[in-house]
Structures are given as C-alpha cells and as structure tokens.
C-alpha cells in the first residue's frame, strides 16, 4: 500500500465522488491558498492534519461551499492514528486474495486464514510472485475512480520491469503480464522469476512480439532481477513518487552527496524527475554514466538540454562525482553496491562514532 495515500486519506475514501472532493481540497490548499507541501507534511506527522486544514480554509475566507462542508464532516479520513482501511476496501482485498488463490488451482475450501498462513510460510520468491498476481488482479478489478498504480507496490514495480516505463501505470507491461499469467502456471512463473528468465518464458508462451515492443530497459531489468536491481531504478522510484527516502547508497552515485542543503537536494531531484518523466535519458545508460563519472556530459551535453547558465553551473558542480575512486575497475553491479555500503559505513563510523 502506498503510505502517502494512507497518510493523506485517499484510501479511506473509496467512493469516486469523495476522492474527487479530497483532490480538490488538496489543490485548494496547495495551489490557491499557497500552503507549502512541507507544512502539510508537518501537520500530518503531528496528527493535526484535519484540524490545520479546517483552520487554513477559515483563515483564507474559504469556509463555505460543499468542499469545506465535506472537510468538516469527515475528520476520520485524516485520522493519523487509524491505520485500518475502510471495510469496503478490506472486503475487496479479501475477495482478490481468494480469487487469486482459486486461479492458482488451490482448494476452494481454503479460508483467508489458510491462505495467509501458507503464504507467510513460503519462500521470499513465492510470496513475491503471489503479490505480483494479486497486483495484476487488483489493477483490473479496482472499483474506484482509478486503479492503484503499479508504483503503489514498489517491489513489483521494480522487480518486474514496470520501472522501465515513464508513467506509473505501465499499461503495456500490465497487458503483457496478464497474458503471461493466463498462459503459464504459477510454478512456471515463479521458477522463471527466481532464475531471471521471465523473458525466455514470455517467448516460449508466444508473447515475443509483445515483449519486444517494451522499452529496451525492460529486458535489462528482467535479466538481472530479482538478484540485482541497479540503484538508478531506486533513484527513479524516489524522485517520481517521493514516498520514502532511499538508502544513501542509492543517492551517492548520482550527485546528491554534493548538495549543500535541502534546497539543492530538491533542485537535483526535480532535474532527475524531468529526465525520467519526459524520457530524455535511458536509466541504464545513466547508471553507466555514473560508473564513469560522466553524468553531466550524458544528461546535459548528449541530450542537448537548453539550460540557463546558473542551472548549468549548479549541475556541473553537483554532478561531479568520484565513483571511479569508489568502485573497483571492471567490477560488476553487486560489487559496486557492496563498495558503496562499505564506504557509507566507514564514513558514519569516522564522523559519528564516539572518540576518546
């Protein structure tokens, strides 16, 4: 579940009309009243989101109209301590679980308790594949105004190659996986996933044409997943949805260690967000550029972006990385990530451990 949608109330309003009202309320708060996102985050973290939003509406002289009335009547939507989903959403989730279980050919007499117990006792790969099947079914059966995006399930989004697409839904990949899951057994899917051979399984099931129509990076990701997901994909997930901060090892190769303050960090995030959303770069090529300390040349010179001088100077500075001094020459991706973690551990020990 996307924690942003839970924290800010969207999963507690499964009715289409209520979701539209909640969206308008946030648009009013951010765009028209001018409250900063960081301020709203502080309200939410402090358990005062509903109280502060009502007060802000009143202070701005907007305490009339149907949206404000809805806001006043629905404090439970913004209840910080209530982490439970509405009964309608929970019932749908339970129905989807049972439906997937039946699709997998499991006994019709199994209860939700039986299913949860077996899944919890399974291997990591088997649990993941069950979640993948559940995600695909949820995308098709969701009753609200829009289905949950695949990005709401970060592991599925990353490990099954949805991250290769510029948008959060990746509909061509969803259609491809729907066709694959309909033509193979669950065990075939799990074995192919575990052995990084989903591409070969797609081709064996007559889906090679559809598979070849995917972005090039789709095959790159699937040829390495689940054993290795390059840091660039975690970077993309972070700058696009900003759900939670990634590990430092994800940020260091891409210039964030050179940012002097939060403002510069947000500035660099916006730059990467533009590159990913507008498909101005290939993420795998960006990762290769990072390995060779060529991020600025790749993202600015090769793409021929028209950037004002102050912006260019900023990017030249922060994108001046030293990854070649961190990574052993000709090292594979796993070794590179290990080196990053060792470097970070050494830095933390040197700067934050108590000194006699």
Q: How many helices (H) and strands (E) does the chain have?
A: 22, 0
Task: Express each pLDDT in 247-277 by its tens digit.
Answer: 667 788 899 989 988 889 889 998 998 898 8
Q: What is the reported pTM?
A: 0.66
Domain ranges of the chain: 3-78, 87-224, 231-352
Peptide bond into 226 cis (omega under 30): yes
Block residue for tokens 């770069």: 281
Please compute the mean of the pLDDT values over residues 121-128 and round it to a whole number: 90
Confidence of residue 348 (pLDDT cuts 50, 70, 90): very low
The better pLDDT of the pair 243, 348 is held by 243
**SS3 track for 157-192:** HHHCCHHHCCCCCCHHHHHHHHHHHHHCCHHHHHHH
In whole angstroms, give the CA distance from residue 276 to residue 273: 5
Report the share of the chain in percent with pLDDT over 90. Answer: 31
Model confidence pLDDT, tens digit, residues 192-247: 999 999 999 999 999 999 999 999 999 999 999 998 888 899 888 888 775 556 66
Output the average pLDDT for the chain: 81
Quote the longest CA-to-CA distance of the chain: 67
Mean pLDDT is lowest, of 7-11, 22-26, 243-247, 304-308, for: 243-247
What pLDDT digit, counting tens, does each position of 82-101 carry?
555 454 445 656 777 777 77
Distance CA(114)–CA(59), nearest Å, equals 53
Look at residue 352 in the predicted model and tell me its pLDDT: 42
């Amino acid at each position: 579940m996307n924690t942003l949608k839970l924290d800010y109330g969207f999963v507690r309003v499964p009715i289409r009309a209520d979701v539209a009202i909640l969206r308008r309320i946030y648009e009013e708060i951010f765009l028209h009243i001018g409250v900063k996102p960081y301020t709203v985050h502080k309200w939410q973290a402090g358990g005062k989101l509903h109280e502060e939003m009502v007060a802000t509406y009143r202070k701005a002289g907007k305490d009339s109209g149907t949206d404000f009335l809805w806001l006043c009547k629905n404090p439970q939507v913004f209840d910080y301590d209530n982490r439970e989903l509405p009964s309608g959403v929970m019932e749908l989730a339970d129905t989807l679980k049972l439906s997937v279980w039946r699709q997998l050919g499991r006994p019709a007499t199994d209860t939700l308790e039986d299913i949860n117990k077996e899944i919890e006792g399974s291997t990591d790969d088997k649990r993941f594949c069950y979640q993948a099947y559940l995600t695909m079914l949820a995308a098709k059966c969701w009753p609200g105004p829009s289905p949950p995006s695949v990005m709401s399930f970060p592991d599925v989004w990353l490990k099954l190659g949805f991250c290769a697409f510029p948008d959060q839904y990746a509909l061509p990949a969803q259609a491809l996986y729907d066709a694959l899951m309909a033509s193979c057994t669950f065990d075939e899917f799990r074995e192919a996933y575990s052995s990084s051979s989903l591409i070969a399984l797609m081709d064996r099931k007559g889906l090679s044409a559809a598979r070849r129509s995917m972005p090039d990076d789709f095959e790159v990701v699937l040829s390495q997943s689940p054993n290795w997901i390059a840091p660039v994909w975690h970077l993309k997930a972070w700058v696009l949805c900003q759900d939670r901060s990634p590990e430092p090892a994800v940020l260091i190769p891409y210039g964030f260690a050179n940012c002097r303050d939060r403002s510069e960090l947000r500035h660099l995030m916006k730059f990467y967000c533009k590159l990913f959303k507008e498909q101005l770069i290939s993420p795998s090529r960006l990762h290769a550029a990072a390995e060779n300390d060529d991020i600025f040349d790749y993202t600015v010179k090769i793409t021929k972006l028209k950037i004002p001088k102050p912006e260019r100077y900023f990017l030249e500075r922060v994108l001046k990385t030293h990854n070649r001094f961190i990574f052993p020459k000709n090292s594979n991706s796993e070794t590179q990530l290990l080196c990053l973690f060792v470097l970070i551990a050494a830095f933390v020990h040197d700067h934050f451990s108590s000194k006699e």
